[in-house]
Amino acid sequence: MSTPDKKLTVLAVDDEAPALSELVYLLRQDEHIASVLSADSGAEALRQLGLHTIDGIFMDIRMPGLSGVELATVLAQFRNPPPIVFVTAFDSHAVDAFELKAVDYVLKPARPERLAEAVRRLVARVNSMNAPTTPAPAAPAPPDDETIPVELGGVTRFISRSEVRYVESHGDYARLHTADATHLVRVPMATLEERWRDAGFIRIHRSYLVSLAHVTEVRLATGRSSVVLGTEELTVSRRHTRDLREVLVRRSRPNASGGAAGNSSGGPSSTAPGAPAERLPEVRE
C-alpha cells in the first residue's frame, strides 16, 4: 500500500514585497504545501536555508545583490541542493533555467493554476529524490524526465525530454524534433549529447542525436545505414555506425535472469525499453 506524499516546506524569494506576498499567499493555498517561508533577497534566502530544511524554492530571477541565477548557481554546489522553480516577469532567462535544471519557469503574474502545475512538478522531483534505494533492475531504468523551456510565438512553453524524437545541430543552437513540432533552443548539441546519454540518446551523425525510445526500425548495412522514427528516416554516418551497432547489441544481450532482454525468441530485440520491436540486421564490416 502506497503512503501519501509528504507535504512540503518551501521558500519563496522575491525582492518586491507585493510580489512576495502574493507568491506566499498562492503557495499556502496549495494542498501539497505544509509551510511557506519567505526571503526578500538572495542573501536572506541563504540564511533561511541554513536555519531550516527546505524542500524547494520558488524565486525571482532579477534581484539586487545576489540574483536568482547566481543563487541557483551557488545552490548547485550543495551536496543536496533543493529543487528550484523560477517565478519571474522576464522570459529571457529560460535557457539559464534549463542549464541549471530548474523544475519549472513560471512567468509573472503567476496564475494560480500555472503555479499549481509548478508545485506538482516540484512534488514529483522531491518524491523522485527521496525514493528509497532498490536493487538495480536487469535493464537500467531511464532517469527522471526533464523539462525544456522553448519559445513559441513569443511565449515560453515547456516540453518534456521524453517527447523529443531527435535533435538536429544548428551551430550553437539545437533543434528539438517532437512528433508534431520543432523547437530551436540555445544549447549546443554536444551539451545535450552528454546530458542525455543515460536517457537513451545516441549520436548517429554529426548533425543528429536520436532517442532510441522513439526508433521504430534500424537499418544497418555496409553501404548505407539509417534509423526510422515514425515517418522520418535519418542517415547514420559511417563513423557512428559501429557505435550504434554496439549499443544495439548491448541492449539485446541476455539479462541477469538468463532471458534475452525484450525478446524471448532469441532473435534480434528492441533497442529501447518500451519501444516497438525493431530489427537488428547483421552488419557486414
Judge residue 219's burial from the number of C-beta atoms within 10 Å of its C-beta, 0-12 exposed, 13-18 middle, 19 or more buried.
Answer: middle
**pLDDT at residue 5 in the model:** 65
**pLDDT at residue 91 in the model:** 72
DSSP 254: B
**pLDDT at residue 158 in the model:** 78
Residue 258 in grid coordinates = 538468463
**pLDDT at residue 160 in the model:** 87
**pLDDT at residue 101 in the model:** 79
pLDDT mean by block of 10 residues, the chain; 285 residues: 69 95 95 95 89 93 87 84 90 71 87 92 86 50 68 72 93 90 87 88 94 86 81 89 77 47 38 38 33
Tell me how far CA of residue 225 lies from CA of 43, 72, 245, in angstroms: 55, 43, 10
Alpha carbons 150 and 160: distance in angstroms, whole number:
10
Q: Residue 85: helix, strand or coil by DSSP?
A: strand
**pLDDT at residue 83 in the model:** 93
**pLDDT at residue 151 in the model:** 72
**pLDDT at residue 18 in the model:** 94
**pLDDT at residue 279 in the model:** 39
Side chain identity at residue 98, one-letter code: F
Domain annotation for the chain: domains and CATH numbers: 8-130 (3.40.50.2300), 147-252 (2.40.50.1020)
**pLDDT at residue 219 in the model:** 81
DSSP per-residue string spanning 193-231: HHHTGGGTEEEEETTEEEEGGG--EEE--SS-EEEEETT
Contact between 52 and 9 (Cβ < 8 Å): yes
